[in-house]
Chain A
Amino acid sequence: MAWQVHIRWWLQAIVLLLLQLALFDHITLFDVSRPFPYVFALAMLPMKMTRWQTLLIAFSMGLLVDLFNYSYGIHAVACTMVVFIRDFYLHTVLGASEEMEGEMPHMYNLGLSTFLLYVLGLVGMHNLALVALDEMSFDRALLATAELMVNTLFTMLLLIALEIIFFYQKGKNR
């Protein structure tokens, strides 16, 4: 049922956002990195949602995170970008089949390697936009590059952990 998928997505997105704002916003790693695993909610958006819906959802989600971070639009821009390239990236670049329409993209329906590339692409894009808009100059090029790499890796690890704990087993049982 399409609407059940949508409700599941909303619940998961709210939990992820709360985790982001209450927990992950306060974690700093090696003095360079702060993870943004809330982007997982955008990666999980059901494939059947229309483009304008996903764009508006991503924009408002980013704006919400901006409010809590004093970042004035940086997350909104990054999230909108991620959602905009998502379909193209998943179907055209990674060649995922169109059969999973209506489902959320997960490890069990994408396969391990496609899933990893999918997550890497979105997380990398998200962090690239965040770092570029935050720095806006090459003053701290080295620091920014380190931040981009550590952030992407750290967020990837978190997403894979979340995926394995919450979604992998459930998918197999289906």
Chain B
Amino acid sequence: MQNLLDLLLRYHAFILFVVLQAVGLSLVFSKNPYQRSAFRAASQEAVGTFHQASHSVKSYFYLKKTNDSLATEVAHLIENEGNFFSSSRNRIPRSMGVDLGLDSVSAWQLLPARVISNSVLRRNNYITIDLGKLAGIEENMGIISPKGVIGTIKGVSTHFASAISLLHSDFAVGARIADLGENGILIWDGNSLDHAILTHIPGHVAVAKGQKVEVNAYAFLFPESTPIGEVVDFGLLAGNAFYSIKVKLYQDFRNLDYVYVVRRNMVDEKNALEMEVVD
């Protein structure tokens, strides 16, 4: 016993080091969302408040840029008669004179928010926005900007929410090549801040540079036809069955400021219906 105590006393620094490393590494390697969200939940409000304070200083330096982008957005809105994201295909022409009551129950609602913290350099990047539970934000809501898809909300506290960015290995969104109507999946391979990869497009399709890539009809978290980027490069994968397409993103993730959280109004109804069919 005495020997054991001596040993512990002698190597206490090394033992402490091993214990601390074990705790740290278990955090790093845990894919367990509970552990991670517990780690965040305790601190989200304080961290968010700090980020907001530092953002309010930082945003002064970008006022001109922000104004320019908002002006462009307004111009775009006026041009498109307020139909920002709906493509002409799924719009119901008013001239038909049929009142389907669709105006009163819009399927999507956009909540304007500001990005107060944002990383871009790591393999997995995160965003914090200044809206939280009080504003009706929930987990797994999409975030978009006029230039494209931004990310998905993963953690919510009272006044803030954190999200995985499109620049994250867990992020994927159903996307299509607008001109061809071919559906695929858009992911980020980590190699460039300005490019993502569109996969699952079959090899027989006539892909060309400059074609527009947008959110497809099956994407659950984002409105159909939200822009993403355009094709800059493509190549067939082994076996010629599928393309790997390099997409230049319209959104520059280095400067994110005003974004919109997408709230699906009839999500509960849709879930209930799908559950019914499954049962």
Chain A contacts to B: CB under 8 angstroms: 21-22, 26, 28, 31-34, 50-52, 55-56, 59, 62-63, 66-74, 76-77, 80-81, 84, 133-136, 139-140, 143, 147
B16 and A55 within 8 A (CB): yes
**A79 to B111 Cα, complex, angstroms:** 39
A134 and B13 within 8 A (CB): no
Chain B contacts to A: CB under 8 angstroms: 12-13, 16-17, 20-21, 23-28, 30, 36, 39-40, 43, 47, 50-51, 54, 57-58, 117, 119-124, 126, 162, 189-191, 193, 254
**A106 to B17 Cα, complex, angstroms:** 25
**A33 to B162 Cα, complex, angstroms:** 23
A70 and B54 within 8 A (CB): no
B26: chain A residues at CB < 8 Å are 73
- The one of B13, B27, B54, B120 in contact with A72, judged by C-beta atoms closer than 8 angstroms, is B27
A68 and B123 within 8 A (CB): no
B124: chain A residues at CB < 8 Å are 134
Q: List 20 A-B contacts (CB under 8 A).
A: A21-B54, A28-B121, A31-B193, A32-B121, A55-B16, A59-B20, A63-B24, A66-B27, A68-B47, A69-B119, A70-B40, A70-B162, A71-B122, A76-B20, A76-B23, A77-B24, A77-B28, A80-B20, A80-B21, A143-B190
Among residues of A, the one whose C-beta sits closest to the C-beta of B53 is: A22
A139 and B17 within 8 A (CB): no
A26 and B28 within 8 A (CB): no
- The one of A63, A77, A134 in contact with B25, judged by C-beta atoms closer than 8 angstroms, is A77
B121 and A72 within 8 A (CB): no
Report whether over half of chain B's contact residues are helix, strand or loop; otherwise say mixed.
Answer: helix
Q: Known contacts A28-B254, A55-B16, A56-B16; is A73 also within 8 Å of B25 by CB? A: yes
**A73 to B117 Cα, complex, angstroms:** 19
> Which interface residue of A33, A56, A74, A77 has the most chain B CB atoms within 10 A?
A77
**A77 to B23 Cα, complex, angstroms:** 9
- The one of B23, B30, B119, B254 in contact with A70, judged by C-beta atoms closer than 8 angstroms, is B119
- The one of A72, A77, A135 in contact with B21, judged by C-beta atoms closer than 8 angstroms, is A77
Cβ of B34 to closest chain A Cβ, rounded Å:
13
**A62 to B24 Cα, complex, angstroms:** 9
A139: chain B residues at CB < 8 Å are 123, 189-190
A33 and B50 within 8 A (CB): no
Cβ of B194 to closest chain A Cβ, rounded Å:
9
Among residues of B, the one whose C-beta sits closest to the C-beta of A58 is: B20
Cβ of A152 to closest chain B Cβ, rounded Å:
15
A134: chain B residues at CB < 8 Å are 122-124
**A143 to B57 Cα, complex, angstroms:** 31
B54 and A22 within 8 A (CB): yes
**A140 to B117 Cα, complex, angstroms:** 24
- The one of B27, B47, B120, B189 in contact with A73, judged by C-beta atoms closer than 8 angstroms, is B27
B51: chain A residues at CB < 8 Å are 68
B20: chain A residues at CB < 8 Å are 55-56, 59, 76, 80
**A69 to B58 Cα, complex, angstroms:** 17
**A53 to B51 Cα, complex, angstroms:** 29
**A55 to B11 Cα, complex, angstroms:** 13
